Structure 1
């Protein structure tokens, strides 16, 4: 079913770019994310729109597909770094967040396909500002814990899961930028374990959002650009691995503000997009 409101082209648009450019762009984005322990999908989205010329909804769908591949590739490494027993010991935290995030992923994708393209550009711009703020707060401050009683913690977890995954679905990202500090803040779990739990929450919610996007006619952009998607996803994985090796080499006091500025500049460009 094709969205009646979206202003994206009615037929799948195939972009032909040189493989080195596509791979290198994905690698650069993956490296940026890897250096701060993230996948970098929030930086890939404006690249898909600005450099490669995809319309807003098409870029979101492609970004979601690549984010899914990157998360699947990162999951074994993350589970190797944190034991499975340590992660499963906190299964109730994942279940709590999933109670809201699965619905949030479906709702976010549904809203995205129903928005006019001009509106979606502005929404994406606003969400990039949110991501820039989340980067600054998460990496340059110490995230404490709220120590809420169980009766308050559970509904807060459901609400947080819903809101975060609405954002993640609309942007086509995994949502770790918001999930990790939320897990630390609400449940008092150390940040390393929180990173693994965030992947376990992200994966099923991404599949839900992906399933919702597949029901829209704009999803055809993925089939028309499979090689593009595969090459950029491969570059993103390689870049993320390289970025992980560089983790800690560059001071976050310098790196995070630079990345936040990149997001803010991208948000301004998207807000002005027709």
Structure 2
């Protein structure tokens, strides 16, 4: 596949994934990772790094776009939630990225497959059972909630670093259920947590030889970013046309199949 052809497919894939992500309020990085490995034949670690780079730009853009609907001054009263989750996620991202650099590619493939399957099952369970809209927090304010938030952030940071994702699929339900925050506001808060978490993981990956993928695949990176941002905008405009539970169920099944098919025999 020539560089121009790869760029074209990157733009198309980014736009399609961005549109689907925009429809359900996610960045779509979970779906982008199997595409980078399966379609563009990138090794797993290089795919994670490139995925994280694209995710960084997309999340920053999404945060700006959402500011029209959810102004930043609405986020300030919930800064304690952000700091609670960040206290764990920054540590988790740094630790997981450091281990991903040193582990064998075969083991990394297996871990990625298991994590993607877990996210797919989470999407399916969310579609089937749903979750409340932030009326009542699971745990009232206090030391116990801080410890639970710290542990949740730690786990989410590790997943985000290992997959190169923003972690919205895990962050949004956590913020809604644990802190009792409205789901739309939780979406913006998750982006605020995701951005520094991804930057820490990205900085940790910079010590790896695989980081050169950003230079080698800079054309693919640029066009995939452009497609992802365009797709996210289109998805936002189409919001409400497809019932969310139907779409999430469909995407959960797609992610489950693609995770197993892509990473079971990846080298």
TM-score by length of 2: 0.93
2:9 matches 1:16: no
The aligned length equals 261
Residue 146 of structure 1 contacts residue 185 of structure 1 at CA under 8 Å; is this kept in 2?
yes
Q: What residue ranges of structure 1 are gaps of 5+ in the alignment?
A: 1-13
For 2:245 and 2:208, the matched residues in 1 are separated by 42
For 1:116 and 1:15, the matched residues in 2 are separated by 29
2:265 matches 1:272: yes
Question: What is the CA distance between 1:239 and its match in structure 2?
Answer: 0.8
- Matched with 1:119 is 107
- Matched with 1:204 is 196
Which of 31, 41, 45 is the aligned partner of 1:43? 31
Question: What is the CA distance between 1:17 and its match in structure 2?
Answer: 4.6
For 1:118 and 1:147, the matched residues in 2 are separated by 40
For 1:87 and 1:72, the matched residues in 2 are separated by 15
Secondary structure in structure 2 of the residue aligned to 1:234: helix
Runs of 4+ in 1 over 4 A off after TM superposition: none
- Matched with 1:235 is 227
Question: What is the CA distance between 1:83 and its match in structure 2?
Answer: 2.2
- Matched with 2:255 is 263
Question: What is the CA distance between 1:224 and its match in structure 2?
Answer: 1.2
2:76 matches 1:65: no
Residue 15 of structure 1 contacts residue 228 of structure 1 at CA under 8 Å; is this kept in 2?
no
2:181 matches 1:193: no
Which of 73, 81, 86 is the aligned partner of 1:85? 73
For 1:57 and 1:71, the matched residues in 2 are separated by 21
For 1:137 and 1:194, the matched residues in 2 are separated by 19
- Matched with 1:107 is 95
For residues 17 and 55 of structure 1, do their structure 2 counterparts lie closer, same or farther at Cα, with a shift above 3 Å needed?
farther
For 2:141 and 2:171, the matched residues in 1 are separated by 20
Residue 179 of structure 1 contacts residue 198 of structure 1 at CA under 8 Å; is this kept in 2?
yes
Residue 93 of structure 2 contacts residue 160 of structure 2 at CA under 8 Å; is this kept in 1?
yes
Residue 55 of structure 2 contacts residue 165 of structure 2 at CA under 8 Å; is this kept in 1?
yes
1:129-158 CA-partner distances (Å, limit 9, x unpaired): 111122223344332441345121000001
- Matched with 2:154 is 162
1:244-268 CA-partner distances (Å, limit 9, x unpaired): 1111111233222211111111121
For 2:201 and 2:124, the matched residues in 1 are separated by 27
Which of 113, 124, 138 is the aligned partner of 2:126? 138
For 1:266 and 1:87, the matched residues in 2 are separated by 35
1:200-220 CA-partner distances (Å, limit 9, x unpaired): 110111110010000111101
Residue 105 of structure 1 contacts residue 166 of structure 1 at CA under 8 Å; is this kept in 2?
yes
Q: CA RMSD in A?
A: 1.5
For 2:186 and 2:128, the matched residues in 1 are separated by 17
1:216-256 CA-partner distances (Å, limit 9, x unpaired): 11101111111110111110111111111111111233222
Residue 103 of structure 1 contacts residue 162 of structure 1 at CA under 8 Å; is this kept in 2?
yes
